[in-house]
C-alpha cells in the first residue's frame, strides 16, 4: 500500500510555504518549498507563488506514496463556505477564490482550507504542547507581527460558522485604551504584538527598532525593555484570563517570533492570570511555549487531511 | 405509554425553584415551586429548601406521566466531575455535594447538574431566541445582579472541563479600569450589572437606588440615566465584540432583570459592536432580547434530561 501523505500549504502575510506531511505529523525532508508574498505583490504574483510551491512539493512526492489530500491554512479573514480569502496584510486578495485555485492545481485530490490560527491550535493538539493528556480545551496563540490564535474545545478544533473563530488578538484588555485597527479599544494585538511592544518601548526612550533588539536589551537588564516585556506579558495574561473565564481552558500554548523575546513574557502572563481571576477553574489554566517548531502551521494544515475528526 | 417529564431545578443566589417540564420545553402548569435561598441561609436551610421544592414538584407528577430524569442548573462555580457546588452568592455552600443530595431525593432517577449559564444558553437554543434557524454559535447572557452566560458552539452547549465555561461577566472591557471582585480590571460585571450601573449613576448625581428607578428615569429622559444606560450598553457591546472575535458567534440573546432597563441598552451594545470591530464575520452577530420568560432556567435544566445530545 502506498504511504498516504498530505500536501500542506501555509499562506501568510510574508510567505507561502508547502510541504508533504505524513500521518504522524512529520514533515517529509526535502519536500518543503517557500515563496515570498507581502503587501506589494499583485494577485497574479500571489497565484503564481502558490502554484510554484504546490507544484514543487507535489513533484517531490515519493514513488511509494500517494497524495491523501491538500490542506491549507490561510491568514484571515476567510469565508469557509466559499473558500474565498481576504488576508488582512495581503491587500491584493479581497475575496480571492483561493480554494478554487488550489482545486485546479491538484485535480481529483480533496482540498480543505481553514484559517491559519485553527491550524496552529490543531497542530498543538495533535503533536505539540497539548498532545497526549494535557486537556481537551486549549488555545493556540501566535504572538508575532500580529496576535492570532485558534481554539480546541472538547477535543476538537472549532472551525466556526464563517471559519474565523480564534481572534484572541481582538479581545479587549481592561485598563488599556489604545485604538486598534479593527476599531476596538485596547485590543490585545494593539498592545502586545512585537511591533506595538517595540513602539511603546520607543516612547519610553528605547532606541532599538526590532523585537530582536528588545530581546537583547531585556537580556542585558535594560529597564525600559524589562517594563515593555512586563506590559505586554501582563496584557497577554489579561486576555487569557478573559478567554478562560469564558471557555474554561486547560492549556494555552504560545508561539510566534515575539513570544521568544524572553521567558519573562510567560511569567508576566501567568502572574496576570493568577492575580486577575478569583475562580479556581480559571487560574488552573497552564500557559506554556508552543510545542511546535516553525513547521507548526504546515503540520496543522496536514491535520485537516489526516485527522478530519479533530475538527468540529 | 406514560408521558416523560423532567424534574427541573434552578438554584440561585436568591431562590431555588423546581417544576416539571415536557419534551417540548413547556413547564407543566401547577408544578412550579419556589423557596428563598440568600446569603444568610445555613447549609441545612438550603438543603431543606431544595428538598421541599423537589418533593412538592415530584408530588405533582400526573398519574399518566413518568419522571425521565432530574436536571439542575446551579449558580457557579461548580465542579462537574464531583457534582459539588460553591455558588458565589451563597457562602454557606462551598464544595457542597448538591448532586449527591439530589440523587438521594429521587432514587433511581438519572440526575444531571450543570451551571445555570449553560442551562440558559441551552434553553435559548432549544426553544428561545435561537430556536430554529438562527445559527449554531450563540451566547446566552443574563444581565441582572451579576452578568453571566453560557455558550452553544457548533449547535451544542459547551459543558467545558470543570463545568464553568461561559463567564462573560469576567471578560475585561477596554478603556475601563474598575476593579472586579474576581481580581480583574474592567470586567464586564464590574461595569454593567444592575447594581454597578446604578452605583455609577449615583456618582453622577442620580438619587434612585434600584434598576427600576433607573428604568423610570431613563424613560423620562433624565440625562444621567441616559448616560448610565449608554455606558453599560456600550460595555456589553465591547464584551460581545471580544467574544465574537474569539468565537464567531451568530447570535447573542440577553435576558435578566436589568436587560429590560430600556431597549436603548441593546442599541448601545449593537453600536459598540459595529464600531469596535472591522471584521465582517464579527459585526454580523445579532444581539437580541432573550426569547425566554422567567421559566428559561428551568427549561434549560429540563433540556439536560430531554435533549442530552445538545450538550458537548
- Interchain CB distance below 8 Å, A238 and B185: yes
Q: CB count, 10 Å around CB of B133?
A: 7
Instruction: Provide, rounded to the nearest whole percent, the portion of chain A with pLDDT above 90.
Output: 85
Q: Is residue A133 predicted with pLDDT exceeding 80?
A: no
How high is the pLDDT of residue A307? 96
Take residue A229 and report the three cell numbers written for it: 516585556
Q: Read off the pLDDT of residues B162-187 as tens digits, 9 standing for 90 and up.
A: 999 999 999 999 999 888 888 888 99
Residue A214 · residue A104 · CB < 8 Å: no
Report, in angstroms and rounded to the nearest whole number, the Rg of chain A calculated over CA atoms. Answer: 19
**What rounded mean pLDDT belongs to chain A?**
95
Instruction: Provide, rounded to the nearest whole percent, the portion of chain B with pLDDT above 70.
Output: 100
Over residues A9-35, mean pLDDT: 96
Take residue B240 and report the three cell numbers written for it: 460581545
Take residue B273 and report the three cell numbers written for it: 459592536
How high is the pLDDT of residue B183? 85
Take residue A28 and report the three cell numbers written for it: 517529509
- Interchain CB distance below 8 Å, B185 and A276: yes
Residue B182 · residue B162 · CB < 8 Å: no
- Interchain CB distance below 8 Å, A175 and B177: yes
Q: Is residue B211 predicted with pLDDT exceeding 90?
A: yes
Residues in chain A: 312
How high is the pLDDT of residue B164? 94
* Region of poorest pLDDT, from A15-24, A29-38, A169-178, B133-142: B133-142
How high is the pLDDT of residue A182? 85
- Interchain CB distance below 8 Å, A164 and B135: no
Q: Read off the pLDDT of residues B2-12 as tens digits, 9 standing for 90 and up.
A: 999 999 999 99
Question: Measured between alpha carbons, how far is A226 from A231 in angstroms, rounded to an integer?
Answer: 9
Question: Measured between alpha carbons, how far is A175 from B171 in angstroms, rounded to an integer?
Answer: 12
How high is the pLDDT of residue A306? 98
Over residues A155-171, mean pLDDT: 93
Assess B146–A contact: CB distance below 8 Å, yes or no.
Answer: no
Instruction: Provide, rounded to the nearest whole percent, the portion of chain B with pLDDT above 90.
Output: 85
Q: Is residue A119 predicted with pLDDT exceeding 90?
A: yes
Take residue B99 and report the three cell numbers written for it: 448532586
For an interface test with B, the pick among A82, A175, A251, A277 (most B C-beta atoms closer than 10 Å) comes out as A175
Q: Is residue B209 predicted with pLDDT exceeding 90?
A: yes
* Region of poorest pLDDT, from A22-26, A85-89, A124-128, A257-261: A85-89
How high is the pLDDT of residue B89? 81
CA distance A181 to chain B (A): 8
Q: Which of residues 244-303 of A touch B (CB under 8 A)?
A: 245-248, 250, 275-282, 284
ipTM of the complex: 0.94
Assess B71–A contact: CB distance below 8 Å, yes or no.
Answer: no
Over residues A298-307, mean pLDDT: 97
Following CA atoms A92, A96, A99, A105 in sequence, which dihedral angle do they give, to the nearest 10 degrees?
-60
User: What residue in B sits closest to A245 (Cα-Cα)?
Assistant: B167
How high is the pLDDT of residue A212? 97
* Region of poorest pLDDT, from A138-142, B65-69, B308-312: B308-312
Assess A309–B contact: CB distance below 8 Å, yes or no.
Answer: no
Question: Measured between alpha carbons, how far is B101 from B109 in angstroms, rounded to an integer?
Answer: 13
> Given the C-alpha cell 487560574, which residue does it identify?
A283
pTM of the complete model: 0.94
Chain A hits for B238, Cβ within 8 Å: 172, 184-185
Assess B192–A contact: CB distance below 8 Å, yes or no.
Answer: no
Chain B hits for A281, Cβ within 8 Å: 77, 162-164
Q: Which of residues 11-70 of B touch A (CB under 8 A)?
A: none
Q: Read off the pLDDT of residues B110-154 as tens digits, 9 standing for 90 and up.
A: 999 999 999 999 999 999 998 876 788 999 999 998 899 999 998
How high is the pLDDT of residue A66? 96
CA distance A23 to chain B (A): 27
Q: Read off the pLDDT of residues B268-299 as tens digits, 9 standing for 90 and up.
A: 999 999 998 888 899 999 999 999 989 999 99
User: How does residue A183 score in pLDDT terms, banded at 50, 70 and 90?
Assistant: confident
Over residues B218-244, mean pLDDT: 98
Over residues A66-78, mean pLDDT: 95
How high is the pLDDT of residue B159? 86
Which of B137, B165, B241 has its CB closest to that of A248? B165
Question: Measured between alpha carbons, how far is A310 from A158 in angstroms, rounded to an integer?
Answer: 9
Question: Measured between alpha carbons, how far is B269 from B240 in angstroms, rounded to an integer?
Answer: 8
Question: Measured between alpha carbons, how far is B61 from B226 in angstroms, rounded to an integer?
Answer: 48
User: How does residue A245 score in pLDDT terms, banded at 50, 70 and 90?
Assistant: very high
Amino acid at each position: 500500500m502506498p504511504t498516504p501523505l498530505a500536501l500542506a500549504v501555509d499562506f501568510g502575510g510574508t510567505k507561502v510555504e508547502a510541504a508533504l506531511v505524513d500521518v504522524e505529523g512529520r514533515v517529509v525532508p526535502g519536500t518543503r518549498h517557500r515563496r515570498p508574498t507581502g503587501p506589494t505583490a499583485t494577485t497574479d504574483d500571489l497565484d503564481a507563488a502558490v502554484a510554484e510551491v504546490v507544484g514543487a512539493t507535489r513533484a517531490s512526492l515519493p514513488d511509494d506514496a500517494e497524495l491523501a489530500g491538500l490542506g491549507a491554512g490561510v491568514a484571515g479573514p476567510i469565508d469557509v463556505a466559499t473558500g474565498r480569502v481576504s488576508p488582512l496584510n495581503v491587500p491584493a486578495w479581497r475575496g480571492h477564490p483561493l480554494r478554487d485555485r488550489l482545486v485546479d492545481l491538484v485535480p481529483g485530490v480533496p482540498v480543505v482550507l481553514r484559517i491559519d490560527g485553527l491550524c496552529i491550535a490543531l497542530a498543538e493538539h495533535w503533536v505539540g504542547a497539548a498532545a497526549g493528556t494535557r486537556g481537551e480545551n486549549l488555545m493556540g496563540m501566535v504572538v508575532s507581527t500580529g496576535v492570532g490564535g485558534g481554539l480546541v474545545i472538547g477535543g476538537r478544533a472549532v472551525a466556526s460558522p464563517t471559519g474565523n473563530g480564534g481572534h484572541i488578538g481582538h479581545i479587549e484588555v481592561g485598563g488599556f485604551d489604545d485604538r486598534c485597527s479593527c476599531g476596538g479599544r485596547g485590543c490585545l494585538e494593539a498592545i502586545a504584538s512585537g511591533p506595538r511592544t517595540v513602539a511603546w518601548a520607543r516612547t519610553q526612550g528605547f532606541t532599538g527598532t526590532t523585537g530582536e533588539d528588545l530581546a537583547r536589551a531585556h537580556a542585558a537588564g535594560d529597564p525600559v525593555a524589562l517594563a515593555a516585556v512586563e506590559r505586554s506579558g501582563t496584557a497577554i495574561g489579561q486576555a487569557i484570563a478573559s478567554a478562560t473565564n469564558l471557555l474554561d481552558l486547560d492549556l494555552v500554548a504560545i508561539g510566534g517570533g515575539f513570544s521568544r523575546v524572553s521567558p519573562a513574557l510567560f511569567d508576566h502572563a501567568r502572574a496576570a492570570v493568577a492575580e486577575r481571576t478569583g475562580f479556581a477553574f480559571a487560574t488552573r489554566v497552564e500557559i506554556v511555549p508552543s510545542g511546535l517548531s516553525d513547521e507548526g502551521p504546515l503540520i496543522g494544515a496536514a491535520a485537516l487531511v489526516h485527522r478530519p475528526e479533530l475538527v468540529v
